[in-house]
């Protein structure tokens, strides 16, 4: 099973606050928050609640949660054959859980910005596709979220240059490695979001509400 939860922080904020959301977090994982500002802490806490719900739905035992630890490059992991990941952009949050191998997710808001400064992150063919597109930002973030999602799946984040990730439609591979994955687009208006799974599979998706 690979399941995705999607939430909108601004919608949740209409009916609750950071303290109330924190009180709903009844498992101890991910408690070393890197965020100092309340709005970021709110989004981070919602992400944890989303993972909590995914763990409950997957019947993850409390003893397994005790094994939670960070991998060599900072990705949270469990000492069990399951994987999970969270990403957020603006006020959209996406969490994913898998018992079918590693999994990663990345979301970006499609926006105007100086995308021309990131040429080194793409192959010549990819850059040509971006540069000649009618909406280059759409193509840029489509490719970017694919590249990030596979690196997050294997726990590398941006430790590996994005240019080393080759993409062929819905299949990706980190060059000179055995790290491969399959991309699944999560359609969210105004955003680009991709989940990368280790195997070809189907995603289950749902909207997260408190």
Q: What is the pLDDT of residues 149-189, one digit of tens each?
A: 999 999 998 889 999 999 999 999 999 999 999 999 999 99
Topology at the third CATH level for domain 2-207 = Ribosomal Protein L22; Chain A (3.90.470)
Please tell me the pTM assigned to this model: 0.94
* Average pLDDT of span 58-73: 89
By the 8 A CB rule, do 147 and 102 touch? no
> In Å, what is the CA distance from 107 to each residue of 21, 62, 91, 191?
22, 29, 11, 7
1 or 33, greater pLDDT? 1
| d(C-alpha 199, C-alpha 157), whole Å | 19
């Amino acid at each position: 099973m690979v399941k995705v939860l999607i939430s909108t922080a601004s919608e949740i904020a209409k009916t609750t606050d950071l303290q109330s959301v924190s009180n709903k977090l009844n498992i101890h994982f991910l408690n070393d928050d890197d965020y100092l500002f309340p709005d970021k802490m709110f989004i981070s806490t919602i992400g944890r609640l989303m993972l909590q719900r995914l763990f409950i739905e997957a019947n993850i035992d409390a003893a397994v949660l005790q094994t939670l630890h960070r991998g060599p490059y900072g990705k949270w992991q469990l000492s069990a054959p399951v994987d999970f990941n969270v990403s957020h952009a603006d006020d959209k949050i996406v969490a994913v859980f898998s018992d079918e191998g590693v999994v990663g997710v990345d979301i970006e808001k499609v926006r105007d910005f100086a995308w021309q400064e990131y040429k080194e992150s793409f192959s010549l063919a990819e850059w040509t596709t971006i540069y000649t597109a009618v909406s280059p930002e759409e193509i840029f973030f489509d490719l970017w979220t694919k590249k990030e999602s596979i690196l997050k799946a294997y726990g590398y984040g941006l430790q590996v240059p994005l240019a080393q990730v080759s993409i062929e439609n819905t299949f990706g591979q980190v060059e000179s490695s055995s790290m491969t994955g399959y991309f699944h687009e999560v359609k969210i208006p105004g955003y680009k979001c991709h989940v990368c799974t280790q195997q070809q599979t189907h995603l289950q998706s749902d909207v997260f509400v408190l």
